[in-house]
Amino acid sequence: MELLEEISAIARRLKGSRSVLFVTGAGISADSGLPTYRGIGGLYEQEETDDGIPIEAALSGAMFQRDPKITWKYIHQIESSCRNAGPNRAHEAIAALEARFDRVWTLTQNVDGLHHAAGSTQVIDIHGDVHWLLCTRCGHRWRVETYAGLPIPPSCPECDSLVRPEVVLFGEMLPMDRVQVLQEQLMRGFDAVISIGTTSVFPYIAEPVIDARRRGGLTVEINPGVSEVSHIVNHRLRTGAARAMDALVRALDRA
C-alpha cells in the first residue's frame, strides 16, 4: 500500500476513535535538529567517553552519587545539543489533536521538553525533563531554559547543596507519580496507539502497543527503522515523524 493510501486508511479508522495514546522517542525530535539516541551530542556513537568510561556509566545514578561532576559534564553536553531547538510539525500535530478527541495522552521517553513547548498538556515524560532541576537536600525545584552559565555541578540557590537534573539516570527507578498516571490511563484503554520514533526496547514503551493490539485497537508505527513493535502494529509508516503526522492531520480533515 502506498504511503498516502495507508495514511488515509489510518485516518478513516482514527476518525471514529475517542481516545489516542502517542508513544514517542528520540526520532520525533529529529526534525527539530536533535540527533537520535545513539547520536545525542555524539556521546553514544563511541565505545567510551573522553573520560574512558561508557556513556551509560557516566550518566548513571551510581556515578552521580560517586562523582556528580562527571555526570553533570555529560548532562550539560546533552542539554547543549538540545539548546535552541523548537518543536517541529510532529509535536505541533500531536498538541493540536488533543482538542480533536475526547482523551489524548503522550507518553514520551524524551527529556527535551518539546511536547510541552508545542502545547501538549497531557504528557507523561517518563524519563523526566532536562530543564527541571532538583536539590538533593532541601527538595527545591525550579526550571531553567538553558544550562549556559551554570557551574558544573550547580548548587541549590536555597541551601547551596548538590543539584541534579530531574531526569532518570541509568540504573534508577522510573518516577512513581508518572508510572501511576500511565498505569491509570492504560487501565482505561485507548482506541488507538501511535508509536513514533522509538525502538520500543523498554517494556513500558512496547506494552501500550501490544495491549492495544490485543484489545483490537488501532496500532500504528511511524519509524524509518525497525523496532520491537514493527511486527505487531496494524500500520507501519517507514518515514519521518513530521512528514507522517502532517499528512495524517490533513487526511483527518478530509476523512
Please check whether residues 40 and 105 belong to one and the same domain.
no
Closest CA to 25 of 109, 118, 87, 93: 109
Determine the pLDDT at residue 234: 97
Whether the model pTM is above 0.85 = yes
Residues 39 and 111 in one domain: no
**pLDDT at residue 174, rounded to an integer:** 97
Mean pLDDT of 1-29: 94
- For the record, the C-alpha cell of 180 comes out as 501511576
127 an active-site residue? Answer: yes
Looking at the structure, tell me whether residues 181 and 224 fall in a common domain.
yes
- What is the rounded distance in angstroms from the CA atom of residue 232 to the CA atom of residue 245? 20
Predicted local confidence at residue 40, as pLDDT = 46
List the domain range (segments joined by +) for residue 144: 35-84+131-167
- Of 143, 167, 191, which residue is a domain's last? 167
Residues 25, 139: one domain? no
State whether 190 and 205 are in the same domain.
yes
DSSP secondary structure letter of residue 100: T
Last residue of a domain, one of 167, 183, 215: 167
Report whether pLDDT(39) > 50: no
At how many degrees (to 10) do helices 3-15 and 241-254 cross? 60
From 127, 131, 140, 235, active-site residue: 127
Tens-place pLDDT, residues 190-229: 999 999 999 999 999 999 999 999 999 999 999 999 999 9
In the chain, the number of structural domains is: 2
For 81-129, what is each residue's pLDDT tens digit? 888 889 999 999 999 999 999 999 999 999 999 999 999 999 999 999 9
Rounded CA separation 94/71 (Å)? 32
Q: Which of 95, 122, 88, 107 is nearest to 22 (CA)?
A: 107
Q: What is the mean pLDDT of residues 19-35?
A: 92
Whether residue 114 is found in the same domain as residue 193 = yes
Question: Same structural domain for residues 178 and 232?
Answer: yes
Q: In 130-202, where does DSSP find H-type helix?
A: 176-188
Q: Which residues pair with 16 in a beta bridge?
A: none
CATH number of the domain that residue 109 is part of = 3.40.50.1220
Measured in residues, the chain has a length of: 255
- Residue 166: name the closest of 193, 195, 144, 191 by CA: 144
113, 139: one domain: no
Q: Does pLDDT of 254 surpass 50?
A: yes
Please answer whether residues 123 and 108 qualify as being in contact, where contact means their C-beta atoms are separated by less than 8 angstroms.
Answer: yes
Answer whether 54's CB lies under 8 Å from 144's CB: no
* pLDDT at site 13: 95
Q: What is the mean pLDDT of residues 53-70?
A: 94
pLDDT recorded at residue 42: 46
Question: What local confidence, expressed as pLDDT, does residue 77 receive?
Answer: 86
For residue 47, name the pLDDT band (cuts at 50, 70, 90): low
Are 142 and 223 found together in one domain?
no
Q: Closest by alpha carbon to 63, among 164, 134, 133, 147?
A: 164
Distance CA 192, CA 244 (A): 16
Residue bearing the bigger pLDDT, 34 or 158: 158
Q: Are residues 139 and 20 in the same domain?
A: no
Domain final position from 119, 141, 167? 167
Q: How far apart are CA 5 and CA 196, in angstroms?
A: 19
Backbone angles phi, psi at 163, to 5 degrees: -115, 150
Is residue 79 located within the same domain as residue 153? Answer: yes
Are both 59 and 18 inside the same structural domain? no
Whether the Cβ atoms of residue 210 and residue 224 lie closer than 8 Å to each other: no
Q: Which helix (H) or strand (E) holds 180?
A: helix 176-188
